[in-house]
Chains A and B, each alone.
Chain A
Amino acid sequence: MTEPLQRPKRKDPLKRTRLPTQPPELRSRRSHLLTRAAAEGVFGLPGCSDCGALHYPARDTCPECLSDNITLLPCSDLGVLAGTTTVQISNNVYFRERSPWRVGLAVLDAGPRVVTHVHGDVHEGDRIRLTWRLDKSGNAVAFAEPEKPTPNMSDDAELREMTLDPKFRRVLVTDGRTALGQAVAKAFADAGAAIIFCGIADPWKPWPGEEKLKAIPGVEIMPLDVTDTDSVNDLADEIGGRVDIIVNTGEHIRPGGITDRRGVNVAREEIESGYLALMRLAQGFGPALKFRGADGVNSACAWVNVFSIYAQMAWPTYGAYSAQQAAMLGASLSLRGELRPGGVRVVHVFTGPTEDEWFQPLPPPKVSHGQIAKAVVDALRGGVEEAWVGDIAQDFRARLQQNPKALEREIGQ
């Protein structure tokens, strides 16, 4: 059984903050099949599409039939931990700082043997479930976990290096005015976050849910207007060094394609509150997050952006909004690359139309804010980079992968 994680002590202000280091990050291009699996939280093994042989590590050609048609094939994630060893010292600085570190050899029911990181609750000869996890370098590594959940399993020190668990971490929810922001704040309180800073713009405007939000344990209301550079910088100056997870919950949904509108004022509001807001937040909070990527149990670890699926393919009925989301997605992909060296992961949560006033005329199914909030917390606990919430988003994703052109023609039909 894993020792439950204890609330971290307050930091000794006289001690230097350790800089983030990284496990080895170079991978072959083919190995990124596994990076994708880890990023999406799915399991499979590199395999030959021609003869069906599975193998590990990923190879450029099939060891059985020499085909270069290698892809990720779904298979059982179960197996046996054939052996383990504990690394007491390593030449790699990242592991040296975290030793002793257990590794092992998993023999999968599907055949291949995989060198793997090992959860503290599994031992030689145990049945295990193998997962692909993103490590601090952003690449896939194998992780052998108990076949069935064990108490406090997510508190395992090695696993916590791979996940982004909110427990005892301090979160900034960028817009506490929205139903989404409030649902996210509640989900983080339930997940054991230590502090949930909730940004509120224009405090002179009343907002629904104010009393309920303030009553959530750990919630602290902070002045934050993401459309105002000074406001973002002021808050970053005040709490930037105490934020471990940022969840960007800003929304500015307006209907209409780009020919439907007179002038660009609404588009400007969309860009200000979306794309430029993300840039302001990145400039304000990014440097401290990157700096604190290895700052103890409650190190900085994640930045979550919630996107509409229409970021990936414009829906002309909400065309200008889709464009705003696409612009944000582009910025967020850059942010992902910029924060990775600091051990901070940028997580994208994609959703279809939500139970939002601005989607009111649309027929169900629509995604509730509670569902999105749960998906955000689940994504962090699972350590994934991409999550898709609800049936519409899942269907959209499948169609996008299958034939983007068909999706483009059929969208909104």
Chain B
Amino acid sequence: MSKHLTGLLGAIASGGVKVVDLTFTLSPEFPTLVLPPEFGQCAPIRIEEVSRYDPRGPAWYWNNISMSEHCGTHYDAPIHWVTGKDLPNNSVDTIPPEHFIAPACVIDVSAKCAENPDYALTVADIEAWEKTHGRIPEKSWVLMRSDWSKRDFKAYANLREDGAHTPGPTPEVMQFLVNERGILGFGTETIGTDAGQAHHFAPPYPAHHFLHGNGRYGLQCLCNLDQLPAKGAVIFGAPLKIRQGSGSPLRVLAMVEQ
């Protein structure tokens, strides 16, 4: 084994590198995206026992699972959005595997989100972060920390009569991150990469629009972002290799140097 990998394994074993799980448990109760009922719906997570050391299978336990590609902590590929439909390597099975390991910059706007559930991340937030931590490196994940993952499911989905009220990015910040900083992708703790009210933005759903239109990726329903440093963590998150898949639930791990 090369010294690089040996060094990494040694650091993980010794605690010099901590592995933080940024993933929610896949469970039927976990909120899923809700669309107007006349549209096709995202199937929720379901776990159906096949056998559990019983007459259906005396010595073994296993389940059949079913869900949408966009359930739980999950990954959005460019093909998910119409703006990315014609790009090369735009589905989860064709994305270059080296894109599944990348550094992360964590922008903490949790205090603002606590005050305003519709808080929209701005270019000014990025500039303020860069003043302290330096320029966001190219091909990084930018993760928006809102502490939304700490809420109970009702407050997490935060649905009202006019739809969801959850934080997300402005159109300007998405253009800035994609075009000016060349990010690999954008991640959130909320149900989508976009704000709950992003349907009313111009363009609607700017994270989806700009990320996927430029071959970048999305991560959502992340948790434990409060355990990451603002800069320096490395994310490992590989979606399932689904043929022409638009996304996938996945295990997102962050490696953090102690």
Contact = CB atoms under 8 A, between A and B. Distances in A.
Interface string B35-53: 0000011011011110000
B43 to A, nearest CB: 7
Nearest to B46: A228
B41 A265 contact: yes
A227 B46 contact: yes
A230 interface: yes
Contact of B41 (A206, A225, A231, A269): A269
B49 A202 contact: no
B49 A229 contact: yes
B154 A230 contact: no
A203 B40 CA distance: 21
Nearest to B40: A265
Given A228-B28, A229-B49, A230-B28, A204 B154 contact: yes
A266 interface: yes
Interface string A51-88: 00000000000000000000000000000000000000
B154 A203 contact: yes
A203 B153 contact: yes
Interface string A355-375: 000000000000000000000
B46 A204 contact: no
B160 to A, nearest CB: 7
A202 B31 contact: yes
Interface in A216-270: 225, 227-231, 265-266, 268-269
Contacts of A231: 28
Interface in B126-167: 152-154, 156-157, 159-161
A205 interface: yes
A49 to B, nearest CB: 51
A109 B131 CA distance: 100
B159 A205 contact: yes
Interface in A199-218: 202-206
Nearest to B156: A204
Contacts of B152: 204
Contact of B160 (A206, A265, A266): A206
B34 interface: yes
A202 B32 CA distance: 10
Interface in B14-44: 28, 31, 34, 40-41, 43-44
Contact of B159 (A206, A266, A268): A206
A277 to B, nearest CB: 12
Interface in B71-91: none
Contacts of B49: 229
B40 A205 contact: no
A172 B176 CA distance: 54
B51 to A, nearest CB: 14
Nearest to B27: A230
A225 B28 CA distance: 9
A204 B157 contact: yes
A203 B152 CA distance: 11
Contacts of A268: 43
B40 A204 contact: no
B153 A204 contact: yes
Given A203-B153, A205-B159, A225-B28, A230 B47 contact: yes
Contacts of A225: 28
B27 to A, nearest CB: 9
A204 B41 contact: no
B159 A204 contact: yes
Interface string B185-207: 00000000000000000000000
A265 B28 contact: no
A138 B157 CA distance: 48
Interface string A268-285: 110000000000000000
A227 B41 CA distance: 14
Contacts of B156: 204
B201 to A, nearest CB: 23
A205 B41 CA distance: 15
A265 B48 contact: no
A225 B153 CA distance: 15
A228 B29 CA distance: 9
Most central of B28, B31, B34, B48 by chain A CB within 10 Å? B28
Most central of A203, A204, A205, A266 by chain B CB within 10 Å? A204
Contacts of B157: 204-205
Interface of B: 28, 31, 34, 40-41, 43-44, 46-49, 152-154, 156-157, 159-161
21 contacts: A203-B154, A204-B153, A204-B157, A204-B159, A205-B31, A205-B34, A205-B157, A206-B160, A206-B161, A225-B28, A227-B44, A228-B46, A229-B48, A230-B47, A231-B28, A265-B41, A265-B43, A266-B40, A268-B43, A269-B41, A269-B43
Given A227-B44, A229-B48, A265-B43, 20 more contacts: A203-B154, A204-B153, A204-B156, A204-B157, A204-B159, A205-B31, A205-B159, A206-B159, A206-B160, A225-B28, A228-B28, A228-B44, A229-B49, A230-B28, A230-B47, A231-B28, A265-B41, A268-B43, A269-B41, A269-B43
Nearest 8 A-B pairs (CB), nearest first? A204-B153, A204-B154, A228-B28, A204-B157, A204-B31, A206-B159, A229-B48, A265-B40
